[in-house]
A and B are shown apart, each in its own frame.
Chain A
């Protein structure tokens, strides 16, 4: 009597445990899915101000405001390439030397004392900008001036200055066209220099600059449409110039609310600065981006968030070698095919996407916990306390590669 009772109880307990376990497993599956949602492991930012001269004070203030936000949210100076004309703070006309203000009445000094400008003054040229993006940099370039991104990097590119329909003026002497920019991004894609790219531009007729993009995983925002001017925000009578542009001012206000733990997504960023505040109509482009913008967090691009999930369950992470094998095979095939491609016949997006879908490498085992297969990835952790931390691992591996580069 006691034995069958006991066994039935045990059996029921085991069933309950299994149910709980599967619940927990599904919970942990969700957690893991969240964890690998974005697919990037490091963040970079390239912030470019393309104007010089005292009356373009607002462009420098724009760029420095974004720089400040990006630093606050966690991207270090070593991962930011800041290109500024940098002739505002120490300009003879500046009544408050060594400062650049973004709010009137001198509320906020965005120049601060820890600004690290990588390309300053006359070094901000189209050539340097393109070399930074594509990585074709002479070996003597110092490390701080390089964009050392890889295929797991999310890059934020912010540009501001004077622009027109299809071009952006660099320092009053040259221009970059939207076609050149699109080609630079394509080069970056082919060299696997980014995972996802967010491109923000605050100039007149800014939307024309992202019209020509054709590489995948790019999201773009602009402050005004073609035919519209982006307006400046507020003049400061003590300094005598306009301090900020409207669009960046409201983006800055929006970013001030973001902290590294925010779950605010890109759709909120698209709503920043409606026509009533900005006078121009901001635009955005998401057709090249694979994820849904409402699943893309602001901190995916503006911050550098170390993801930590603590769980008591074990989870085996398997690399889906089938897809990787096939992808490797296709890579090799393409190498053999190797024909010179004309501009009009650039690789179509779909083919590239199919070829380079590395995001799906991490698959979850169908059975709950603990199934170690022969094809499991060597780095599967088992243990009572499972800490799924991927970024430090990648950083470690990355830094080991980087050490190789140094020597």
Chain B
């Protein structure tokens, strides 16, 4: 008979698996972590290279000299903005028209689920201003975008000045084959989202935006610019976007080539492993770290460039930044197709080195293997012990209760699962829904109410096991927790696997922290230790821990109180971003991982 159908051989195989399980799990986990840490170093990283033939290896001569003009525009803009406290729309329109663009405006408004510190009202409304430079000798079928986000807290006036000066320079050239859109948005990313939704004629986030009067064809690439001062010591580039999406690596390669050409110092925060971890944390958070993050949803390759003015000695003025941008746009002008030749999924240990998906995926694979092995062990324990005739018909579903002490009823498994899922649903819906009730009864602002409700429900879930046992009839106490743990392990493995495919960083981070706790949990053994471990690896604790790690990596370490404040802010922002941009971290954690974690909590406190 075959290996798996021969009962004698099966028992032998099962015994081997059971004996080797723990060492294999430990080995696999260590291999996964080690593989990840090794990603920052040479054999696993590759040098970046330009894959798109149309953008080629030739350089173009930049001729931008409008530094003074840019500064003039910037000063005017800052003055007008101080006067009007909002975006000086009329002034922008006038300036863009004088430079020679076709100018349009767009108004938008959004009712926030709850007001946070940056927007202290429920209703946010604003106006975007954009000018289109039409290609002189081409049909308007494709376009490029240069965008500057303006918000109440970040004035970004130098960037606006540079945008206008570049527009004036570009208008005088005849070699454009694509239209160029110069976009100034109000309220930072909300304006960008409104503009993008109106441009593509979709409505994914419930924004009310007026339809656009002027359009320019399919957007091929976009660059967002944030400058705070008129001299910069370096240009920082951000690639991570909403839900961990990344632009095509060629765009980054293009930027890096022009930085090298112009002698401009371009940086990615940190060095080596630090950069890699920072990128992982940023990607895992799923926030759009700049307007480019919102462009990526529409498959428009985009980058955000931030000018940094630190205490380095050598400073670059606006002309250098302008030349780099001019070069980039001139090369993007050569494109005939969308950027698709280079990687879409990668990690960056440095600006000129990358790790491709084929190389980093095994790290998560090793971690999820631990869950698989544990599940296999439990499965064998559930069906192995006892006499042989019983195990021949072992089906994955413990359906109708088997005679004797073998099977576990579906009902007894379903109850904890449903209750945990209900808890997750409550965590997802109640905070925003119940904020008004909370505000009436407690002296807190709406944002704080939301966060506190969130935490309250989270902690309430910890008290569950004492209650679920009243619902569940203890038919076979020992089998019960094994079956529940088996279901929980498979649930966790599926979720983490799916998350890792789309957002590797989030998947890996969650796997690295939750897998040991999940594998170790059992009602027998040192209960306080396991409880502490499980608490430390709950989704909320992971969030807190990663915030501390993030600040540590940025060399701005946090004290405990600061950390807690930041944590609360992060929670509020997570919920807000889910409602305004469609970020998926909050629903994933609330509806997916928290119920799964609760199942393990139930297993731990099984009686």
Contacts and interface: CB of A to CB of B under 8 A. Distances in A.
A94 B54 contact: no
A53 B54 contact: yes
B333 interface: yes
Interface string A89-119: 0111111010000000000000000000000
B336 A93 contact: no
A55 B177 contact: no
Interface in A26-62: 53-55
B58 A92 contact: no
Contacts of A235: 58-59
Contact of B56 (A90, A92, A241): A241
**Listed residue (B173, B175, B333, B334) with the most chain A CB atoms within 10 angstroms of its CB:** B175
Contacts of B334: 54-55, 93, 240-241
Contacts of B61: 237-238
A178 to B, nearest CB: 24
A242 interface: yes
Contacts of A241: 56, 58, 334
Interface in B508-525: none
A54 B59 contact: no
Interface stretch (B124-132, B134-142, B458-466): B134-142
Contacts of B53: 55
Contacts of A92: 135-138, 175-177
A53 B175 contact: no
Interface in B167-182: 173-177
B292 interface: no
B173 to A, nearest CB: 7
Classify the interface of chain A: helix, strand, loop or mixed. Answer: loop
B55 to A, nearest CB: 8
B175 A94 contact: yes
Contact of A240 (B60, B135, B137, B174): B60
B330 interface: yes
Contacts of B176: 92-93
B330 A240 contact: yes
Nearest to A235: B58
Interface residues of B, number: 21
A242 B138 CA distance: 22
Interface string A195-235: 00000000000000000000000000000000000000001
Contact of A237 (B59, B138, B336): B59
A55 B55 CA distance: 8
A55 B341 CA distance: 16
**Listed residue (A54, A91, A97, A238) with the most chain B CB atoms within 10 angstroms of its CB:** A54
Contacts of B59: 235, 237, 240
Contact of B173 (A91, A95, A237, A242): A95
Contacts of A240: 58-60, 175, 330-331, 334
Contacts of A94: 175
A54 B58 contact: no
Given A240-B58, A240-B60, A241-B58, A97 B137 contact: yes
Interface string B44-71: 0000000001101011110000000000
Interface string B167-199: 000000111110000000000000000000000
B58 A95 contact: no
Interface string B329-342: 01101101000000
Contacts of A93: 175-177, 333-334
A134 B489 CA distance: 72
A34 B176 CA distance: 57
Contacts of A55: 53-54, 56, 334
25 contacts: A53-B54, A53-B336, A54-B334, A54-B336, A55-B54, A55-B56, A55-B334, A92-B137, A92-B177, A93-B176, A93-B334, A94-B175, A95-B173, A97-B137, A97-B174, A235-B58, A235-B59, A237-B58, A238-B60, A240-B60, A240-B330, A240-B334, A241-B56, A241-B58, A242-B56
Given A241-B56, A241-B334, 9 more contacts: A53-B54, A54-B334, A92-B138, A93-B176, A93-B333, A235-B58, A240-B175, A241-B58, A242-B56
